[in-house]
Amino acid sequence: MTVEVTPTTFTYVYFDSAYIARIAQRLIGLFHLENHNIRIDINETTPLAKMHIEFGDPIVINIQSGAFEDFSRPRQQSEPATTQSLGRILLKVRDRLSPEFANAPADEDLTLVQVAIWETYCVARLSRHDIDINRQRWLYNFRNRHGFNDASDRAFEKIWNSNDLTWEQLQNISDTAIALVQ
């Protein structure tokens, strides 16, 4: 297994590529992804925080600099933000590699609702690895996609407390919540 971070030196932000690699290695071990080579490409020209996976050898994770940033100290790297963002995307990598998620649409075809349920599922599992997560932030994101109502909150709870869902089960929880209020 290799972990590579590019660029190795940054000009727009004060990030540390070796530090990012160390955090990634820890998470890769935690999620049993040691059999894969992974490259993390950071786009430091934008403060946005989008992430995208390209499967191949290595698996390439494209990340915009906002995903690792300490928003209270612009351009500085945040250890919690780096861990949370990498943790979320690596759990998504693990899901994509498993047969349970074989039917999940390609990233570019995911709807905003589907993105929200998958992110909730990733962040919830991350929180059980003793990684500090603001649950309310993700509940708000979920409500924005499913509506501000009890059915939406019940769906969130169900996903938040689950560990071994398939893509179909995840989608079903979301569909049920949306159908209940229509």
Of 28-36, 91-99, 129-137, 162-170, the segment contacting another protein by CB under 8 A is 129-137
Question: Which string of x and - marks every residue 84-113 that binds another protein (by CB under 8 A)?
Answer: ----------------------------x-
- 102 contacts: CB under 8 Å, gap ≥ 6: 167
Residue 143 Cβ, how far from another protein at the closest point, in Å? 7
Residue 25 as a binder of another protein (CB under 8 A): the answer is: no
* Binding residues with another protein: total (CB under 8 A): 30
Residue 131 as a binder of another protein (CB under 8 A): the answer is: no
Closest CA to 119 of 148, 78, 87: 87
Contacts to another protein by CB under 8 A = 11-13, 44-50, 65, 71-75, 112, 115, 134-141, 143-144, 147-148
